[in-house]
C-alpha cells in the first residue's frame, strides 16, 4: 500500500473519531469520495492499525444507526422553512 494512502486512512480515522463525523462529512473535508472513505476505514486501516480502525468503525456504525433520525429532522426543517417563507 502506498504511503500517502496509509497516512490518509489514519488521518481520516482520527478526524472521524474526533468530530464524530459521518462518511459524507469526512469525504467532503478530505475532498475524496464516500466510497474511498469507507474503503479506507473498513479495509485499508485494518492492515495499518486495527485498534484505530475498530474505533473509527464504531463511530460510523453509530452514525449509520442514527441516520434515519437526521433525515427526518432535515425534512421537518425543510417544510418548516417553506411554511415560514410562504413558498
Residue 86 has pLDDT above 90, yes or no: no
> Confidence class of residue 76 from pLDDT cuts 50, 70 and 90?
confident
Residue from 67, 81, 79 nearest 21 by CA: 67
Residue 43 has pLDDT above 90, yes or no: yes
| pTM score | 0.76
Q: Mean pLDDT in the chain?
A: 88
Residue 84 has pLDDT above 90, yes or no: no
The predicted model gives 53-70 an average pLDDT of 85
Amino acid at each position: 500500500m502506498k504511503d500517502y494512502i496509509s497516512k490518509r486512512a489514519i488521518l481520516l480515522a482520527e478526524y472521524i473519531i474526533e468530530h464524530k463525523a459521518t462518511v459524507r462529512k469526512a469525504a467532503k473535508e478530505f475532498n475524496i469520495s464516500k466510497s474511498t472513505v469507507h474503503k479506507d476505514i473498513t479495509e485499508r486501516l485494518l492492515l495499518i492499525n486495527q485498534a484505530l480502525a475498530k474505533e473509527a468503525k464504531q463511530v460510523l456504525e453509530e452514525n449509520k444507526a442514527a441516520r434515519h433520525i437526521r433525515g427526518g429532522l432535515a425534512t421537518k426543517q425543510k417544510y418548516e422553512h417553506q411554511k415560514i417563507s410562504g413558498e
